[in-house]
Structure 1
Amino acid sequence: MAALKKRYLPVCLRDNLGVLARVPLASGFLTGKYQRGVSFPPGDYRGKQSQESLDAKADQAAEILRKEVPEGVNMAAWAIAWCLKHDAVACVIPGARNAAQLRANASASELADGNHPLSM
């Protein structure tokens, strides 16, 4: 995330390139529901990653939650809104497995329209 914010997004802005945010919830880690020790069922592509890699992603998501997401704000909506608010991002494509996730994803537009604490 740090390299994205500090290196890649500024280059995209400078060169007038639009970013397609294809996995804005980091394969579910930015929903806040996965912690260290997470495992995934057989057939889930995330289960092909090492436990060390999964734990690192969980740790990174926990740090983002602690340092950047305001208290009382849904982490998934905040992550999508972060993408929507960034000037380099042209399109955000979050996934949804059910209607509740779809509604939650759509609610991010309200956060993006308001005072989202996007810090570059």
Structure 2
Amino acid sequence: MVIEDDAIIGADLELCAADLGFKEVLAARDEAGAVAVAESSHPNLIICDLRLGPEGSGVRAANAILRQGPAAIVFVTGLLPGNELVVDKAGVVTLGKPCDVIGLKRAINRAVTRPAGSRVQVEIS
């Protein structure tokens, strides 16, 4: 599942996920939409923008989705240089935008090793 408020970046992330072999890539453009889509689809991987518009939070969306069941999560953000990969002490994976298929694959590989279902705590500055 791709959660990205910018339609062009979202479409690019969806294509990257498809290029990596994901068969069904669902999309949401805001926090509420993401939670609603996840309720009916139960995604096992979430690629999520940290900031979802002026009021939306990818962290809140991710935590709401994790309450529904386990999923690997990769956060993407323009706050880091493109393709920079950061893994914090808790194992939260964040990738800088713009990213490409290789960077996304690397981030996904790191995210799937994180304990399933554990809440994420990310500070957005």
TM-score of the pair, normalised by structure 1:
0.24
Larger radius of gyration between Structure 1 and Structure 2: 1
Would you tell me which structure has more strand in proportion to its own residues?
2
Larger RCO, structures 1/2 (Cα 8 Å, 6+ apart): 1
TM-score, normalised by the number of residues in structure 2? 0.24
